[in-house]
A and B are shown apart, each in its own frame.
Chain A
Amino acid sequence: MSGGFERLLDSVVRIDVSELNFEDGARRLDASIGSGVILSQDGLILTNAHVVGPKAVDINVTLASLERVNAKLVGWDHWTDLSLIRLNPDEVKKRSLAFKHAEFGDSEKLYVGETVYAVGTPHGLTRTVTRGIISNNNRYFEDTEGVDGYETGNFNSWLQTDAAINPGNSGGPLVTEDGRVVGITSRAYLGANNLGFAIPSVIAKRIVAGLVKDGTITRSYIGIIPKALQDLEGFYDLAANSGVLVDSVESGSPASNAGLRAGDVILAIDGKKVDGRFPEELPMIQNMIASQPVGSTLVLDYKRGSREDTASLVTARLDSRMGEEWVSDTWGIGVRKVSRAFARENQLADDTGVLVIGVQRGFPAEVAGLARGDIITKINQNPVASLDVVRATDAAYSAKPAPTLFEVQRERRVALVVLKP
């Protein structure tokens, strides 16, 4: 065993997480187990966004020494399924806890067939090492609800490995023989044989830097859904390996406002030629757009039919479909703010309202007939512009319970219900 690998083993941790969920219309704690890797002597740990996210209320880290210590969330980025936590420095100091930290390797240099190891906590089995090879070093897939309902995978490709990856491996490192971290193990096909996936270190390094600096990763949004041109070059009369097809343009987006339409082929972004011939090339192009500072001007050269044209647009901030969540204990209802992306996807007029994500049986909301999937648009005839409107009405109701009129959008229908004490 190399010295680097030994050092790596001392930097891998088990993470026990308690998460607060509102999906039953009540406060419920869900416990889960994942893995992580220590990146620095001041206790930064990299893991998956689906292991530790903003809903985590208790993060307990088991070090290689088997000592346990609490940690706090530094920031997360569900788009790349990465999350950064930090060990409680006071406790580390007080208890003189010792640990090593890992070094990143270069995922770009990996070759298919190269031996790699996954280290983590599969099914709670702390400090498990499995071995395999790189099966594919440029795997592409998107998962629109991959991280607890949050979008993921649009801006990165994945390493595929046949090292055994099981639930609980998530967030652990994928390493080369010298113990360098080339990926963060994040998912596997359950029921398949050894089809595991990791986020390449080249992506992870950039996300870590961003999260340390700002606690979040801000991306630019222009509102196009790209599609690989594969087999369509002839139809669009293009040279091979040039351009990316616009499959869809989101209404009201910068791209839509700049006049882009589905079926256009983007040839260059800010004068830089783009090549979206294969699906594997799309994350790079998406990432190139997303990496621009929000509010920057992008010049797109595109082809429509036989005509070539240029459009200039100003990028907006990329938002998730998932809004802030909250629960009312009095009404027995969990809600999530309708986001602009959610409104757009569901063809709602605007982002007014909160989505019901759960109701508790026998509580006023359920008794009145509110159900999961309803969108509460008005309470006592006031539009629900923010969660604060719901919180304020709930506070007033708790202080002095009185019948309260809810207007909800249910599919295309408007229903009125009264919540009573």
Chain B
Amino acid sequence: MKFPAFVLAAALCAAGARAADLTALWAERVKCTVAVEYVTQTELERRPTVAYGTVVDTQGTIILPSAAIDLRVSPSQIKDFKVYIPGDPDGTEAEYLGRDAYTGWHFVRASASIRGRLVPVTAFAGPEAARETGLADEVWGIGIRNKDEDFVPYILQSHVALLQLLPQRTAIAQQEVAGPGLPVFDRDGRFVGLGASSFGQTFLEFSGAEREGAPVMLVNLEESSAFLVAAEVLPYIGRTPKNVFGRPLAWLGAYGLEPMDREVAAFLKLASHSGAVVSEVLEGSPAEKAGLKAHDIILGVDGEPLPRFRPDRVVVDYVERLIAAHSPGQTMTLSILRGSDRVELKVVLDEEPRLVREASRMYFERIGFSAREFVYGDAVARHSKAGDLTGVIAHLVKPNSPADLAGLRPDDWIKEIDGAPVADFASAAQRLSEIDKDAARTETVLLVNRGSETAVLRIKLH
């Protein structure tokens, strides 16, 4: 009769030892995680955002996942970065360093005053050979609660269910295993990966109107079951951008890559191939100069055939990452299928033209809108000649302002101000400022381009 009691005691004892062990590992590893808060400040509002990051070196460098900051927002409008140590309600100032195009990570640097309390994740990296996660391995990671709970850290635990190339090697656990951007460890406390954006899960939603249940996809923004394996993280943590724009940025100029699916490959007698269809070749781009044509199918890059992914569309990310891994000035070789011909093209990559987030902007208080410099991407989006970079874009239109009431809409392309063509941003900004400040002015007339049409807008000033 005593035997079962003994077994029970031993079991309890073992469980207790393991738990204590994991708690200690967790407490030590929480030090490589932080919450980062920043403010997006536009002409009309200040909007705080919180993201979670992992410390990657002893200089207080923190990486945040790509989705943490909206890429369309100008770095000049994201400010007041603060780093919070999990569980501590007081944040300290931090600096935004920019986004690395290859990994997509944003880099932030914590102030010197708290660096002593941070431990880089590399301290838990372990030997290279032991880093690979295997199917069914037990893994655990860190989650961080909200600001009103002082960002307290907590533990998540699961097992690896699947390993996929998306195109980075990504482990998918049975349940949520870490906050996006927060680290994942194995049972011995070795770093095995970084929480990725979570996948949508489909649920049935029942309501009075939908008694049979309507499928809805839900995405958990706080915790993820997917993580990039360590080999996709550790080699790249040194890619701190040289500037907030992440320049230099390599540019190919093949627009709208679309995956070639298996059926199409079979039809084109390319049974074993993967490929990406080029929708358009941008004017003046390296791709155009090298002779790439719209509807070409990219089958290989730098002598290597494109691998097959599941799902097929991952091949697009794969090609885009290959481009981002290059520097402007470097040569990329593309293996192309054009009609039924195979073509090899050598493309010398160039620096990406000025992006929307780099464009100059100015707000005109009385008229009630902000004008933004017209950049290359605007010309592409509007099917206009890349050489024609005249005019400015209405970036933000203040609700119920004179501009709004006159019918100006965000993304309108302002071609003329008071009947005179707009040459560039500087001259438009000057003229609009003069109008904005001239109290005697009762109207200004803009000619704007919207889609395939134009419109003459009379803005009545008061």
B256's partner among A231, A249, A413, A416 (CB-CB below 8 A) is A413
**Complex CA–CA separation, A345 to B258 (angstroms):** 24
For residue A70, CB closer than 8 A to chain B, the reply is no
**Complex CA–CA separation, A420 to B267 (angstroms):** 10
B419 lies within 8 A of A347 (CB):
no
The minimal Cβ–Cβ distance linking B255 to chain A, given in whole angstroms, is 7
A417 lies within 8 A of B419 (CB):
no
For residue B69, CB closer than 8 A to chain A, the reply is no
A415's partner among B268, B277, B416, B447 (CB-CB below 8 A) is B277
Chain A neighbourhood of B447, CB < 8 A: 262-263
For residue A313, CB closer than 8 A to chain B, the reply is no
The minimal Cβ–Cβ distance linking B192 to chain A, given in whole angstroms, is 36
**Complex CA–CA separation, A305 to B123 (angstroms):** 71
For residue A225, CB closer than 8 A to chain B, the reply is yes
For residue A96, CB closer than 8 A to chain B, the reply is no
For residue B452, CB closer than 8 A to chain A, the reply is yes
Chain B neighbourhood of A249, CB < 8 A: 454
For residue B301, CB closer than 8 A to chain A, the reply is no
For residue A101, CB closer than 8 A to chain B, the reply is no
B458 lies within 8 A of A232 (CB):
yes
A263 lies within 8 A of B456 (CB):
yes
Q: A232-B445, A412-B255 are in contact. Are A420 and B456 (CB under 8 A)?
A: no
B454 lies within 8 A of A247 (CB):
yes
A417's partner among B264, B294, B339, B460 (CB-CB below 8 A) is B264
The minimal Cβ–Cβ distance linking B275 to chain A, given in whole angstroms, is 9
The minimal Cβ–Cβ distance linking B32 to chain A, given in whole angstroms, is 41
For residue B453, CB closer than 8 A to chain A, the reply is yes
A305 lies within 8 A of B453 (CB):
no
For residue A100, CB closer than 8 A to chain B, the reply is no
**Complex CA–CA separation, A346 to B451 (angstroms):** 8
| Proximity string of chain B (413-451) to chain A, C-beta cutoff 8 Å, 1 when within and 0 when not | 000101100000000000000000000000101010001
B266 lies within 8 A of A418 (CB):
yes
B258 lies within 8 A of A414 (CB):
yes
A414 lies within 8 A of B454 (CB):
no
**Complex CA–CA separation, A403 to B264 (angstroms):** 9
Interface residue tally on B, bucketed by range? 20 to 34
Chain B neighbourhood of A247, CB < 8 A: 453-456
Chain A neighbourhood of B256, CB < 8 A: 412-414
Chain A residues 365 to 416 lying within 8 A of chain B, measured CB to CB, are 368-369, 381, 403, 405, 407, 412-416
For residue B263, CB closer than 8 A to chain A, the reply is yes
For residue B320, CB closer than 8 A to chain A, the reply is no
Question: Among the interface residues B260, B278, B447, B452, which one has the most CB atoms of the partner chain A within 10 A?
Answer: B452
**Complex CA–CA separation, A403 to B269 (angstroms):** 12
For residue B280, CB closer than 8 A to chain A, the reply is yes
**Complex CA–CA separation, A231 to B445 (angstroms):** 11
B456 lies within 8 A of A245 (CB):
yes
> In the complex, which residue of chain A has the Cβ closest to the Cβ of B256?
A413
**Complex CA–CA separation, A109 to B443 (angstroms):** 40
A263's partner among B266, B267, B268, B416 (CB-CB below 8 A) is B416
Chain B residues 278 to 308 lying within 8 A of chain A, measured CB to CB, are 278-280, 294-295
Chain A neighbourhood of B445, CB < 8 A: 232, 235
The minimal Cβ–Cβ distance linking A242 to chain B, given in whole angstroms, is 17
> In the complex, which residue of chain A has the Cβ closest to the Cβ of B415?
A262
The minimal Cβ–Cβ distance linking A160 to chain B, given in whole angstroms, is 24
A403's partner among B266, B418, B419, B443 (CB-CB below 8 A) is B266
**Complex CA–CA separation, A248 to B447 (angstroms):** 9
For residue B47, CB closer than 8 A to chain A, the reply is no
A412 lies within 8 A of B456 (CB):
no
B264 lies within 8 A of A414 (CB):
no
For residue B261, CB closer than 8 A to chain A, the reply is yes
A413's partner among B279, B456, B458 (CB-CB below 8 A) is B279
A416 lies within 8 A of B452 (CB):
no
For residue B462, CB closer than 8 A to chain A, the reply is no
**Complex CA–CA separation, A401 to B438 (angstroms):** 72
| Proximity string of chain A (230-259) to chain B, C-beta cutoff 8 Å, 1 when within and 0 when not | 011011000000000101111100000000
**Complex CA–CA separation, A249 to B447 (angstroms):** 12
| Proximity string of chain A (340-373) to chain B, C-beta cutoff 8 Å, 1 when within and 0 when not | 0000111100000000000000000000110000
The minimal Cβ–Cβ distance linking B332 to chain A, given in whole angstroms, is 21
Q: A231-B458, A416-B258 are in contact. Are A407 and B416 (CB under 8 A)?
A: no
For residue A227, CB closer than 8 A to chain B, the reply is yes
A412's partner among B267, B279, B295 (CB-CB below 8 A) is B279
**Complex CA–CA separation, A28 to B419 (angstroms):** 52
**Complex CA–CA separation, A416 to B275 (angstroms):** 11
**Complex CA–CA separation, A417 to B453 (angstroms):** 33
A227 lies within 8 A of B258 (CB):
no
For residue B2, CB closer than 8 A to chain A, the reply is no
Chain B neighbourhood of A305, CB < 8 A: 419
| Proximity string of chain A (207-245) to chain B, C-beta cutoff 8 Å, 1 when within and 0 when not | 000000000000000000101000110110000000001
B295 lies within 8 A of A407 (CB):
yes
Chain B neighbourhood of A418, CB < 8 A: 261, 263-264, 266-267
| Proximity string of chain B (54-90) to chain A, C-beta cutoff 8 Å, 1 when within and 0 when not | 0000000000000000000000000000000000000
Chain B neighbourhood of A381, CB < 8 A: 339
B452's partner among A227, A263, A344, A414 (CB-CB below 8 A) is A344
> In the complex, which residue of chain A has the Cβ closest to the Cβ of B448?
A262
Q: A235-B443, A263-B419, A412-B256 are in contact. Are A417 and B456 (CB under 8 A)?
A: no
Chain B neighbourhood of A414, CB < 8 A: 256, 258, 277-280, 294-295
A sample of 18 cross-chain residue pairs with beta-carbon separation below 8 angstroms, ordered by A number, consists of: A227-B456, A231-B460, A232-B456, A234-B443, A235-B418, A247-B454, A247-B456, A248-B453, A248-B454, A249-B454, A263-B416, A346-B452, A347-B383, A347-B452, A405-B268, A414-B280, A415-B258, A418-B267
Would you list the 7 A-B pairs with minimal beta carbon distance, nearest first? A418-B263, A262-B454, A413-B256, A414-B279, A248-B453, A248-B454, A416-B264
Residues of A at the B interface (CB closer than 8 Å) are 225, 227, 231-232, 234-235, 245, 247-251, 262-263, 305, 344-347, 368-369, 381, 403, 405, 407, 412-418, 420
Q: A231-B458, A262-B456 are in contact. List 14 more A-B contacts (CB 8 A).
A: A227-B455, A234-B443, A245-B456, A247-B453, A248-B455, A405-B267, A407-B295, A413-B279, A414-B278, A414-B294, A416-B258, A416-B261, A418-B261, A420-B263
